[in-house]
Amino acid sequence: PGCRSLDVTMNRFFRRKRVGPLKSLLSLCLVFASLLMIQKLKPSDKEVEHRRDTGWCGSDCFSFKKGVAKTTVGSSDTLVFRKDLDAQGVSERTPSSWDAQVLKCTENASVRNEHWFQHLNPRFHQFVLHRHCRYFPMRINHPEKCVKEDVHLLMVVKSVIEQHDRREAVRKTWAKERTMDGKKIKTLFLLGSPVAGKDTHNLQKLIEYEDQIYGDILQWDFMDTFFNLTLKEVNFLKWFDIYCSGVQFIFKGDDDVFVNTYNLLEFIHTRVEERKEVDLFVGDIISNATPIRNKKSKYYIPKELYDAPYPPYAGGGGFLVSAQLARKLFVASEELQVYPIDDVFLGMCLQKLKLAPERHQGFKTFGITRLKPSSMNNEPCFYKNLIVVHKLSPQELIEMWSMVNNNDLICAQRIII
């Protein structure tokens, strides 16, 4: 009952718009709920690092020592992965913990004098001035998540603090931690810090209590904004390289997708049997795309920032990657400047490795049909035969998961994946 009341409190807090006198009242309710949780839950042994200062990139930026597993031969476009990698592709010089030096994240003021910067759309100024700040302190860490045992599939989900209801739905459905046919599945949610101007203190307390219950959150000290999604990518790749030598595959997705876990495992099994898993990167692939110049689009990119066709990339709603390739992507990512669109940035990393992502019809990151509304997007037999579908609300996800896993569901034909 205590956890249920907290869940109700959190959902109301995240969904309702706090205006006028309600803001103070809801803040007091959150404090009261927090005190109740302290009484209800036993504190874990996990240590949470806190940073007090706030700013564009949180309090501090991490600057990792050079000497990662990469060797430049000839041109900067060539990466070699032999000398410093063991049989699993792990660098011999990879640190054993998140052990970077802490540096203040100050802007790169020299950029302001560049001619192209003076013509750059102002909404990109802070991104460009701080994109050298790549690694950040961790506020919540779980180094034990995938080092104590072999993990066949690590479900990695991008989320933000306010989306508690989405995380709950994902935990109850496709990302539930379990063992299926002897294959261990583990789950992690990737979070940044609350954006300045929100009730940051109470939001942080709530996410810490949520993590005490589930133990599945990684949180870094940078503000959780759209332009910082790529920071989740590069910080996770570094984290994975440090802690996850026993993981075989990663599914990376959003917290509003449907994943047919059974079909995903079957697809992995097929690729392993065919011995095609080493450089596996599969999803819903976008090819021949160019930067969007419409200033009203959240994907708008000015010419001053990037003026070339995009490489092929997987829609960020959900894709599958082998652990071996994830480690190579980490090395490649350190050779590139951070780009504000995270899925395009991974496409750039693949291009750096001279690899291309693989398209699979089972990944539908733009919905089953791109024409909305369509009854096909609500048909459980389609979900039963696919791997990933984007996007669903928390309630839709739970209902669709229940229908797809109902033994009474009869579908005319099964698509071979």
CB 274 within 8 A of CB 179: no
- State residue 89's pLDDT score: 43
pLDDT value for 57: 45
Residue type, 87: A
The residue assigned the tokens 């990695």 is 156
Q: Are strands 281-286 and 151-158 parallel, antiparallel or unpaired?
A: unpaired
pLDDT value, residue 51: 34
Instruction: Please give the model's pTM, rounded to 2 decimal places.
Output: 0.78
pLDDT at 368: 81
Length of the chain equals: 417
Kindly report the number of other CB atoms within 10 A of residue 344's CB atom. Answer: 22
Dump strand ranges (E) for 17-60.
Answer: none
pLDDT at site 345: 97
**pLDDT score recorded for residue 47:** 36
Rounded Cα–Cα distance for residues 280 and 37 (Å)? 43
DSSP letter, residue 88: T
**If you compute the radius of gyration of the chain from its CA atoms, what whole number of angstroms results?**
22
Tokens of 354: 């001279």
Q: According to the model, what pLDDT value does residue 183 have? A: 95
Supply the pLDDT for residue 7. 52
Give the chain's residues under pLDDT 50: 1-6, 8-9, 12-28, 30-31, 33-35, 37-91, 416-417
